[in-house]
Structure 1
Amino acid sequence: MDPKLLVDLSQSFSNLFQDPQLADVFIEIGKPPETKTFSAHSGLLFARSPHFASELKNEWVKRKKGNEIKFVKPNISPRIFEIVLRYIYTGAVSLENQNILSILEILTAADELLLEDLIQYIQSFLLEHRKELLQKNFATVSQFVFKHENFKRLQEYYSTLLKYSDIRQIDSWINGNDTAQTSLVPITHKYNLICRGSRDGFTADNFHRICDDKGPTVIVIKTNKNDQIIGGYSLASWHSRGRSESGVGCFIFSLGDRNGRDPILSRHASGQGIACWKTHGPVFGDQRDLVLFDERIQNGSNNYTKKQSYKVAILSGAELGFVGYNVQEYEVFQVVDKLLE
């Protein structure tokens, strides 16, 4: 179709949006004291929103008089709904002048109204044009996106392995708390995803090329042991200079598995904290506690854990001997203290 015809069509529907004379649907939006009733056309709502299409077909909709239909949507603010309703009519939305909280509200409304194209557009906009906001507002946005299963692209931007509760738990451990995390304690660090095996490669060379000299980091590994998630935190930077680094602040951990195993925290006890060799991936402890040893991190025959320099074994059996595992995925996060920014 000629693009000009699409522009003309959008303008025609924009005119319809602004002229409620033939409207037969009235939508009460918001909660007191901020409420507003919007007029709309049932045929257009039916065609553009699966959510409204389903409601229009339901027998429970309340009819006011004649063929007029009333909906009540208390979960969306009038300002946000006007933006979304205009999109329903015109297929256009402008996000350039919206702050991050408003964009998240629009995304939430799009999810409630099953506007899949708008959901994908907003995610693309944030990932392509507002990455700095995604990092600056890490705690707010990451908590938000992990509560909505339809926001996969934003979830993957933060992590494919960690849930928000996992991030909160790791943050609590970094702050020196050994007890279970609590939702009342705010996250005090940003976690910048800098390396993902399936995206950047599983070789030791790629690990060091991307992750060396980045300051404090968290390594997260998905194993073939009941999909168990294990990992480690190092306060010292990784490097390729063939020497060990202090264990001050270091710990390794398990976040449990699909069988309901509880998280395990294992803080550094003695010996080296991490070992930094060009030919190896990340190594915690005296070459034993948590090792991605081979050049080929993903299917390396020497990926293993054994209790040695850290206080507690993180995989069953590792307190007695070496426990090997395959790496299904791994991610590395640069840890940035918000107070130091």
Structure 2
Amino acid sequence: MMEIYKENITNDFQQFFEEDYNVIIYAGEEPNVKELHAHSIILRCRSQYFRTAFSSNWAEKKDGMYILKKPNITGNIFQIILSYIYSGTINFSQIEQTKYLELLKAADELGFDKIIENLQLYLINHQQDYLKSDPIGILQIVFLFEQLILLKEFCLKLICQETKILFEGENFLTVPAHTLE
């Protein structure tokens, strides 16, 4: 009989996350830069982005440590992604609504397709009020990223059914023409 102990492995990785490291990540812009620590082998195992970063001369190396600077991803968002890398889980309901789009952008850049897929489903199934609150901002994001197909289709369907949420939006006049076509 084969036993599966995924929970033990997840807990071990979560604990490992807190210990010894060889990667320092500076996430966010001044004055809100957050220093985060990780293990290059774990990052490489979980993401093509990090495999590329650590296999080329792209990542800076100083005193045996890899140094990554990611000013375009906030420290809090990078912390969520690191937690996902080590534990395999994200509780979307514990993330501030205003951070969902940031997380989608960061997951896209770092190549975490499962985060993108599952967050889209979460937003569609549990956060429709949020999606209605800024339809123009959300539309502009979903048209930038090809992977946001589910969210794009949902938003377009929602806007077709409830056109007033688009026209009553503060930024309606700033929507690029190609978005409305």
* TM class, shorter-length: 0.7 to 0.9
Distance in 1, matches of 2:155 and 2:97, equals 16
Partner in structure 1 of residue 159 of structure 2: 192
Aligned partners of 1:127 and 1:154 also within 8 Å: yes
2:54 to 35, 56, 61: 56
Partner in structure 1 of residue 103 of structure 2: 106
| DSSP-derived class of the 2:27 partner | strand
Distance in 2, matches of 1:9 and 1:93, equals 16
Aligned partners of 1:26 and 1:40 also within 8 Å: yes
Aligned partners of 1:50 and 1:115 also within 8 Å: no
Distance in 1, matches of 2:58 and 2:78, equals 22
Distance in 2, matches of 1:137 and 1:61, equals 37
Partner in structure 1 of residue 15 of structure 2: 15
Partner in structure 2 of residue 123 of structure 1: 120
Distance in 2, matches of 1:38 and 1:136, equals 32
Partner in structure 1 of residue 163 of structure 2: 335
Segments of structure 2 that go 5 or more residues without pairing to the other structure are: 170-181
Residue 76 of structure 1: how far off its partner (Å): 0.6
Structure 2 residue identity aligned to 1:154:
L
Q: Where do 1:139-288 residues align within 5 Å?
A: 139-159=136-156, 192-194=159-161
Distance in 1, matches of 2:75 and 2:143, equals 25
Aligned partners of 2:23 and 2:40 also within 8 Å: yes
Q: Could you say if the C-alpha distance between residues 2 and 108 of structure 1 is closer, same or farther in structure 2, counting changes exceeding 3 Å?
A: farther
Structure 1 residue identity aligned to 2:95:
Q
Residue 122 of structure 1: how far off its partner (Å): 0.7
Residue 2 of structure 1: how far off its partner (Å): 5.5
Distance in 1, matches of 2:40 and 2:88, equals 17
| DSSP-derived class of the 1:193 partner | helix
Q: Could you say if the C-alpha distance between residues 49 and 85 of structure 1 is closer, same or farther in structure 2, counting changes exceeding 3 Å?
A: same
Larger-gyration structure (1/2): 1
Aligned residues: 166
**TM-score, normalised to structure 2's length?**
0.84
Distance in 2, matches of 1:2 and 1:28, equals 40
Distance in 1, matches of 2:9 and 2:43, equals 16
Distance in 1, matches of 2:61 and 2:159, equals 51
Structure 2 residue identity aligned to 1:16:
F
Structure 1 residue identity aligned to 2:30:
P
Partner in structure 1 of residue 88 of structure 2: 91
Could you tell which deviates more after superposition, 100-109 or 73-82?
100-109
Note if 1:71 corresponds to 2:68.
yes
**Higher RCO (C-alpha 8 Å, min separation 6):** 2
Aligned partners of 2:53 and 2:59 also within 8 Å: yes
CA RMSD of aligned residues (A): 1.9
| DSSP-derived class of the 1:146 partner | helix
Distance in 1, matches of 2:8 and 2:136, equals 42
Q: Could you say if the C-alpha distance between residues 2 and 137 of structure 1 is closer, same or farther in structure 2, counting changes exceeding 3 Å?
A: farther
> Identity, % of aligned pairs?
29
Segments of structure 1 that go 5 or more residues without pairing to the other structure are: 161-190, 195-333
Residues 23-71 of structure 1 show CA distances to partners (whole Å, capped at 9, x for unaligned) of 1111111111001221111110001011111111112322101x32111
| DSSP-derived class of the 1:86 partner | helix
